[in-house]
Structure 1
Amino acid sequence: MRASLAALLVGVTLVLSACDNKPLQFNSTDITGQDYGKALNLPDASGKPRSMADFAGKVVVVFFGYTQCPDACPTSMALMADVTQRLGEDGKRVQTVFVTVDPERDTSELVGKYAAAFNPAFVALRGDEAQTRAVTKAFNVFFEKRGDIASGRYTVDHTAALYVFDTKGRARLFVRYGETPERLTADLSLLLQGR
C-alpha cells in the first residue's frame, strides 16, 4: 500500500512539473531563436549611434516605417503608446524604437519629432540609404517606393509589423499589423516577468 502511495505521489509530482515546463502561449508569433537585432546599429535623431545594447534590461519593440505613412505607421505607433500606458510603471521598462525606411525624406529632426509625438520616450533611428538597406535585410523587412519617385511624391510599401525583444536582447515576437492593445499588453507583460 505504501509503495503504491509513493508511486502515485511521484507520478503526480512529475505531471505537475511537466505542466510548469510547457511553452509560453503568446498571442503574437513566437520567433524565439531568430537572429534579429544584431544589425540594429543606426544613429538616433541626435546623431548618436544606437544599438540593442543601449536598451539592455528593457523589452524592446522595433517598428520600421516612415513619417509620411498614411496608415500602418501612425496606427502602430499609437498602439505602442497605448500599450505603454496600459503597462503603468512597467511601461518604463519597454522601449519603442522607430526606424525610418525613407531616409531620403525623413531627416533626423523629422523622425525624432515624429516618434516623440506618440511618446517622448520613444527613440527614432535614421541611417543613410546603405545602412537602411543593411538593417532591413537583416530583419527581413520589405520596403519599396511607389508613385512619382523623381518628384518626391511617393509612398513606401513596407513590412508593417513589430519586432519584440526580451530584456536580454533576444528576438521573441513578431507582431502582425492590427494586433489589439489588450493582447499585445499581455504578451509584453509576460516578457517583463522574464518569461
Structure 2
Amino acid sequence: MAGAIAMAAGVAALAACSHPADPWQLANVTGHLPDLDFSLTDDSGRPVTAANFSGQTALVYFGYTHCPDVCPETLARLMQVIAKLGPDARNLRILFISVDPDRDTPAVLHTYVGAFDPQHILGLTGSDSQIESLAKRYRVAYQMEKRNPDGSYDVTHSSAIYVFDAQGHARLLATDNDAPDVIAHDVRRVIDNAG
C-alpha cells in the first residue's frame, strides 16, 4: 500500500507542474510523461497498439468494470465532455484500460463501455504484466484489495485522466476535481492544435 501511496503522490506532484502563466486549466504534463505506447487487446478481442490511434486525441483512463463509483462517475463525466465538444469529438477516443484483467475480459469490457458510448470509448485489457508495466509507465497506482467471502474484491486505483495529442504526446492531466467544462475547454485546444 505504501508503494501505491507514493505513486499517487507522484501523480499529484505532476499535477502541480503548471506554470503561473500557463494558459491551460488542466495540469500541463507536456514533457513530463512518456508518449502513448502500449500493446493490448481491445474489447472486440483484437490486438491493438498506440499506433492504431495515431491522428486522434486520446483520453486514457485506468479503471475496472466492477468499480462501484469512481469509474462509472468518471466515464459519465467524460460523456459530458464529449457532448460539449460536439463535432470536435469526431477524432477523439477514450481508452479505458482495465486494472483488473482477470475479470475484465474483452467481452465484459465490450458490454461495459457499450453502455456509455461505443463510438468514442474503447475498452483495453491485457496480461497482468502488460497492465503492470503500462501503469508503471504512466505512474498509475492500483492494488487488489482483500477478497470478500463471496470471492468479489475491489481494486484501489488512482483516477487521473491522461490527455494525449494526435501525435501521441502526453499533454494534460485531469483529476476528479476538474469539471466537464474545464476538461472540454482544454481538450478542444489540444484537438485544435493537432495539425
TM category (shorter chain) comes to 0.7 to 0.9
- 1:112/1:124 contact within 8 Å kept: yes
Larger Cα-atom Rg: 1
- 1:39/1:134 contact within 8 Å kept: no
Q: CA RMSD in A?
A: 1.9
Q: How does 1:170-181 map to 2 (within 5 A)?
A: 170-181=169-180
Q: 1:68 to 1:119 in 2, by over 3 A?
A: same
Aligned to 2:91: 93
Q: How does 1:73-92 map to 2 (within 5 A)?
A: 73-92=71-90
**d(CA) in 2 for partners of 1:53, 1:46:** 17
Aligned to 1:193: 192
Name the TM-score, length of structure 2 as normaliser.
Answer: 0.83
Aligned to 2:17: none
SS of 2:51's equivalent in the other structure is: helix
Q: 1:36 to 1:116 in 2, by over 3 A?
A: farther
Aligned to 1:123: 122
Aligned to 1:183: 182
Gaps of 5+ in 2: 1-19
- 1:58/1:166 contact within 8 Å kept: yes
Q: How does 1:20-169 map to 2 (within 5 A)?
A: 24-121=22-119, 122-148=121-147, 152-169=151-168
**d(CA) in 2 for partners of 1:169, 1:39:** 8
Give every structure 1 segment of 4 or more consecutive aligned residues whose post-TM-superposition deviation is greater than 4 Å. none
**d(CA) in 1 for partners of 2:103, 2:149:** 12
- 1:165/1:172 contact within 8 Å kept: yes
**Matched length:** 174
**d(CA) in 1 for partners of 2:97, 2:130:** 11
Gaps of 5+ in 1: 1-21
**d(CA) in 2 for partners of 1:25, 1:193:** 14
**d(CA) in 2 for partners of 1:140, 1:152:** 28
SS of 2:87's equivalent in the other structure is: helix
- 1:142/1:159 contact within 8 Å kept: yes
Paired-residue identity, %: 32
**d(CA) in 1 for partners of 2:53, 2:124:** 13
Name the TM-score, length of structure 1 as normaliser.
Answer: 0.83
**d(CA) in 2 for partners of 1:94, 1:172:** 14
SS of 1:154's equivalent in the other structure is: coil
- 1:37/1:52 contact within 8 Å kept: no
Can you list the C-alpha shifts for 1:57-111, whole angstroms capped at 9, x where unaligned?
2110000000011111001111111111111111111110000000111111011
**d(CA) in 2 for partners of 1:120, 1:168:** 23
CA displacement at 1:147 relative to structure 2: 2.6
**d(CA) in 1 for partners of 2:34, 2:76:** 24
Q: 1:62 to 1:53 in 2, by over 3 A?
A: same
